[in-house]
Structures are given as C-alpha cells and as structure tokens.
Amino acid sequence: MTAPIGATVHRIVGGSVLIDGALHRTDLLIDRGRIAAVESAGTADTDAGHVPTPGPGTPDEAASGATVFDATGSIVAAGFIDLQCNGAGGTDLTAEVADDDGAVERVARVLPRYGVTAFLPTVVTAPRRVRDAAIAALCEHDEPTRRDAVGATPLGLHFEGPLLSPGHLGAHDGAHITAPTSDEIAAWIDSNVVSLVTVAPEVDGAVDVIRQLAAAGIAVSAGHTAMSPAAFASARDAGLSYVTHLYNAMAPFNHRRPGPIGAVLADDRVTAGLICDGLHADPAAIRMAWRALGPHRTSLVSDAAAPLGGPFGRFHLGTLEVVYDETGVRTVDGVLAGSALELDRAVRNLVEFAGCSLTEAIATVTSTPADLLGLVDRGRVAVGNHADLTIVDHEGRLEATIIGGRVGWRS
C-alpha cells in the first residue's frame, strides 16, 4: 500500500537510500517520527538490535493510519534543508510576522511540495520589533501539536541584517541598517531560536558581534558586503562560518581587488550559499564556485520570497514592494529581491550547471546545511535521526516529502 498525504509511514520499501553519499538498496523502518532501523538483505541495523515498539501512551501507528511507502525505482534521501527562506505562498515573513502569529506556519506548509522538510525562516533588515516578534513566534511554535497538516520544521531564525553594508543593500531597506545593541544580541542568544545571522564583516563593530554570536553557538554569515580578504580573515578567525548568497549583494571580483568573492573562493574553511536559478548567478559562475567549494562547502538556498508557489503579481519583501514576473522577483526599481525558486529545482539546476552528480547536489541541501548548523539528527539517513526524507527520481524530480514520518507531499 502507498501512503497518501498526511499518513503516518511505518516502512519505506524498494528504494535506493542515499547514505553517506552512496546509494544502497535498503528499507527504512520509522517509529514515532524517527528512523528506527535500516534494513538490508533481511537484517535490521538498529542501535538496540531490534525495531522499537510504541510505549505506553504512544498512539498506535497501525490504528492511526500508518502504512508502507513503496519507493521502488526512486532515491530516498534525507529531507532538504533551506537556510534562507523569506516567505512562500503569498506570505512575507518580515512584513507579516509582527502582526500575524500564523505567518511561519503558513510558509512551513508550502515548502514540502519542493522537498523541504526543515528551514530557517528568514527576516530581512527591519525595525527591531520585527525581529523581537519573530523570536516570540518561534518560541511559541510547538511542533508536536501540528497534527492537522504537515509542514516543514522551522529550525531557528535567520536574521539577514540589520548590520549590513549601506553600499550593498540589494533589496534591503537602508533606513533600518544599524548595529544591533548589546541587549538585542543578548536577547538573540538567550532565546535559543536564532540560528544564523548575516552581517557585513567590514562594518564597524561587526567582528565583535561575530565573536559574541559564534561563541554562543549561533552561525554567523558574511553577506551584503564589500569585505576585503583581510576583513574576511578577521571575521573568519572570530567565528564566521558561512557566506550568504555568494556573488549577490557584494562587491565584485577584481584580480587586484578580489573582495569578498575572491576571499571566499580562495579559502577552504567556510561554506557558501548559492541561489542556483541561473538568474542570480550565471551558470558559468556556479561552475566556478562549485569547483572551488564542492559538495561539502556549497549550500543551495532558495532565498524564496512571498511569490514562491504562486502566480505573477505584486508582493512585499519587508518594507519594500516587489514585483514577480517572467524576469524574477524584483523591487519596483528592478533590483533582484529574493526569488521564487523551488529548492528541488535548484538541485536539478546544479547538476546541469556544474556537471556534478545528483548525489553530490543533494548533499548541498542535506548534510552540508545540517553540518553548518551543528545538527546531528538531521541531514543524513541514519538510525535515530528524524524521519525527514525527500524522495526523488533518478533525474532529481520530486516524488514525495516525508516529515517526522508523515507524508507532507507526493506527486
């Protein structure tokens, strides 16, 4: 029997499971939202040597619609993780989260149709009250109570700004560019729901901010920047570990002034995000980055805005009005303002643009972002990990998304 949308899956059979970069003909057993066993040739590999059974008070899986998912002929991978998602389905998180506590949930419910099982709700440069409201929304988000629909899991917030370069704003509102105060930084740390912060390392005070956040376990990224290689090195030594949408909203490369692009591509210690739609960066630029970074330092992101999943029209990105048409998502002045890129399409694009294998491309949206965030129970298919799985065909076309053992989307 094949599981319908919303069903609890107890077993996935027949597929080629992507484990540690290689495909294996194995079956997966799922119990209470976790991978309970990886079966191969009739044996089960579990920590305890057996398949766990529901304990007292745990809903009976068979009685609640648990079933078998037939993945014959398909690839079963860890669920896709998007580190930069500004919105989807008409909802812009920055514009709406302060006044609507359902904004994050609405975005979460759109993402499974693109293979995304977990994401960082991203708030662009805005007044502090917006960031405070986003923190409150994430603190109140209670995953176990979401039984009526299956949505991607918010792993924490990505604050893209407000400490950015005024000369490389992109689609950020310059009126709100500022250095976060010491009490706001303390609030981010104390909340335990801020996972990633984008700053421009060359701006006054940025290195101190990077050092404080990194010491508290928050990933810090360079973005919207004109940083020199020297500024990049200082930021990296202070704990910088990521680069937000490499190429975009940053000073261009020059062989005498390599700037942020040259500094990042010449380094071997940071991970870089890429918007792989052929619009934010030419396919040749994607190939160049891939040759320098490879699957373990490339993180594909959607940078999706409110138009993701919807028709052409007018929307918002924070305080700015944006237009979505055949040229992409742009401000009324024509500046790129996020995207409507589906993450599963980005994976297929990377295979086409860079000439890499599908398994390498999948790593950029699974194990690589998980490693950046320090997650040990997501991003890989392994016993004990969350049963977040993305199932694709051998061309990378999405067939199903499973989140916490429940079917969130299927073709």
Which residues belong to the active site?
303
- The answer to whether 406 touches 9, Cβ cutoff 8 Å, is yes
Angle separating helix axes 182-191 and 128-140, nearest 10 degrees = 10
The 10 Å Cβ neighbour count of residue 212 is 19
Angular region, 14: left φ>0, alpha ψ -120 to 50, beta rest: left
Place of tokens 């960082």: 120
Closest CA to 164 of 109, 125, 190: 125
Are 349 and 365 within 8 A, CB to CB?
A: no
Instruction: Give long-range contacts, CB 8 A cutoff, 24+ apart: 134-138.
Output: 134/93, 134/97, 134/98, 135/187, 135/188, 135/191, 135/193, 135/194, 137/97, 137/101, 137/103, 137/104, 138/104, 138/191, 138/193
* Residue among 344, 367, 366, 372 at smallest CA distance from 277: 344
Coil, strand or helix: which one is 344? helix
Cis peptide before 162 (omega within 30 of 0): yes
Provide DSSP, 379-401.
Answer: SS--TTSB--EEEE-TT--EEEE
Going 293 to 88 to 217 to 125, the CA torsion angle's sign is positive
